[in-house]
Chains A and B, each alone.
Chain A
C-alpha cells in the first residue's frame, strides 16, 4: 500500500510521523478503560503537528482518524458496563459478544498502528485500509 510522496521524507519527519502512531498506541492502551482519553491525547498530538510537513500531518491525521472510530465502539462498551454495574446488573449474551468484538477490533487496531509506526519510522509511506482514503480526502499538501 506504499505510495511515494513527492519528495522523500527526511529523518526528522519520519520520526515525527512514526511518533504519532506510537503516541496513539500508548494513548489507546492507557485510555482503554476510559476511551475518551485516547482521543484527547491523539488530538493534542495532532494539533501540535498541525504546522509540520505534509508527511507528518498526513500520518498524524491517519492516526487520529483510526482512533476516533474506535472511540464510539469503546465508549459504547464502557457505558454498557457502567450500566450493568450500577443499574440492572444483568450480563447478557449480547453484552459478552459485544465485548469480545470490541476486544478483537482493538487488537486489530493495535497491530495496524504498530505496523504503521514501524513503516513510517523507516521513512516509508503507508495507507491503512479505509483510513488512508479518508486521510487523502481531508489532508492536502
Chain B
C-alpha cells in the first residue's frame, strides 16, 4: 500500500506540475483571445452611445470638436494617456453634463461648454471623466450593479434603459467620485493647469441660483464637499495656471457651442 501512496503522490505531483508549468505560457496572448469582458465593453459602449445619439442632435462643427480634441490631447499627452482611445462626442443639449460610457466614449453636452467660465473649468470636468475612464469606473459599477452575465445579455439587443439610468442618474459611489476628482486634480497639476478651477466649477454649480439643468452636479452629489476636498488636496502644491487654447480660440469654442 505504501507503494500505492507514493504512486498517487507522484501522479498528483505530475498533474499539478504539468498544469502549473503549462500555465506559465501566455496562451491567451499567443492565441490572441479577446477577453469576453473587452468585447462586452465595446458592444455596450456602442449600444449606449446609439441611445444617447437618438435623444439629442450631435454637434459636429469642427469649431467645437477640434478644440475639445486639442484640450483632451494636451491633458492626455502630459499624463501618458492614450488619447486615441477616447471617442469624443458632443451633443446639442443645454444640460450642464458630461458622461463617460464604456469603451472610452466621452459624451460632452454643449451646455457644459456654455456653463464653463474658463477653459480650466471645462478641462477640469473633462479630466474628471477621463479619470473615470482610466480607473475603469463605468464597467466596475455596471458589473457590480447589474452583473456581467446580464450585461452580456444586454449587448445582444437588450433594454439599455437600466444602464442609462445607472450611468447618468445616481452616478457613482462617493468613493469613486472622490477618486475621480483627485485623479483629475493630478492630471491638471501634471499638465500645468489649475485644479482649483474644477473646485470652483463644482462650488458655483452647487449654489442655489443655477437652473435645474445642471445635471453634472445633480448626478455628482455633495458638490460643495467635493470642492473642499479638491482644495485641500492641492493645498501647498505648486500650481501653474497655463492655458491650452488661445483666448480667441476659447471664445470661438464658447460661441460655437452656444450657436444652436
Do A and B associate with each other? Answer: yes
Q: Which of B30-67 contact A (CB under 8 A)?
A: 31, 33, 35-37, 39-40
Given known contacts A87-B149, A133-B1, is B35 in contact with A73 (CB within 8 Å)? no
Pick the contact of A98: B19, B28, B31, B33 (CB < 8 A): B19
Q: A86-B149, A101-B18 are in contact. Are A93 and B7 (CB under 8 A)?
A: no
- Are the CB atoms of A101 and B15 closer together than 8 Å? yes
B18 shortest CB reach to chain A, Å: 5
Chain B stretch 14-28: residues in CB contact (< 8 A) with chain A: 15, 18-28
Q: How large is the interface on B (under 10, 10 to 19, 20 to 34, 35 or more residues)?
A: 20 to 34
Q: Are A89 and B40 interface neighbours, CB within 8 A? A: yes
A47 within 8 A of B: no
State the main secondary structure of chain A at its contact with B. helix
B23 & A91 in contact (Cβ 8 Å cutoff): no
Q: Assess whether B28 is in contact with A88, with CB atoms less than 8 Å apart.
A: no
A3 interface residue, CB < 8 Å from B?
no
Q: In whole angstroms, how far apart are the Cα atoms of A94 and B20 in the complex?
A: 8
User: Does the CB pair B33–A91 fall under 8 Å?
Assistant: yes
Task: Give the docked Cα–Cα distance between A88 and B24 (Å).
Answer: 22
B101 to chain A, nearest CB (A): 20
CB of B76, distance to nearest CB on chain A (Å): 28
Given A97-B23, A133-B3, A134-B4: A90 and B18 interface contact (C-beta under 8 Å): no
Say whether A5 faces chain B, with CB atoms less than 8 Å apart.
no
> Are B28 and A93 in contact (CB-based, < 8 A)?
yes
Q: Evaluate contact between A96 and B36: CB separation under 8 angstroms.
A: no
Partner of B36, one of A88, A105, A134: A88
A86-B149, A87-B149, A96-B27 as given contacts; A104 in contact with B1, CB under 8 Å? no
Docked pose: A130 CA to B11 CA in angstroms: 9
Q: Please measure, in the bound complex, the distance between the C-alpha atom of A44 and the C-alpha atom of B36, giving whole angstroms.
A: 41
Are A93 and B18 closer than 8 Å at their CB atoms? no
**Residue B13, interface by CB 8 Å:** no
Q: Given A73-B15, A86-B149, A130-B7 in contact, is the A93-B40 Cβ separation under 8 Å?
A: no
Which residues of the other chain, B, contact A129 by a CB distance below 8 angstroms? 7
Q: Which residues of A contact B154 (CB under 8 A)?
A: none
* Contact assessment for A105 and B4 in the assembled complex, using a CB-CB cutoff below 8 Å: no
- With A90-B35, A90-B37, A133-B1: A96-B149 Cβ-Cβ less than 8 Å: no
Give the distance in Å from the alpha carbon of A98 to the alpha carbon of B35 in the complex. 18
* A111 vs B5: C-alpha distance when bound (angstroms): 23
Q: With CB as the reference atom, state the residue of chain B lying closest to A95.
A: B27
Report A-chain residues with C-beta under 8 Å of the C-beta of B33. Answer: 91
Chain A CB within 8 A of B152 CB: yes
B4 touches A90 (CB 8 A): no
Q: Nearest chain-B residue to A89 (Cβ)? A: B36
**Bound-state Cα–Cα, A130 to B1, Å:** 10
Q: How far is the CA of A90 from the CA of B40 in the complex (A)?
A: 11
For the complex, give the distance between the alpha carbons of A88 and B149 in Å: 7
Can you list 18 A-B contacts with CB-CB less than 8 angstroms, sorted by A residue number? A84-B36, A86-B149, A88-B36, A89-B37, A89-B40, A90-B35, A91-B35, A91-B36, A93-B23, A93-B26, A93-B27, A94-B23, A96-B22, A100-B22, A101-B15, A133-B7, A134-B4, A137-B1
Known: A97-B25, A134-B4, A137-B1. 9 other contacts (CB 8 A): A86-B149, A88-B36, A89-B36, A89-B148, A91-B35, A96-B31, A104-B18, A130-B8, A133-B4
Question: A: which residues have CB within 8 A of B?
Answer: 73, 84, 86-94, 96-98, 100-101, 104-105, 129-130, 133-134, 137
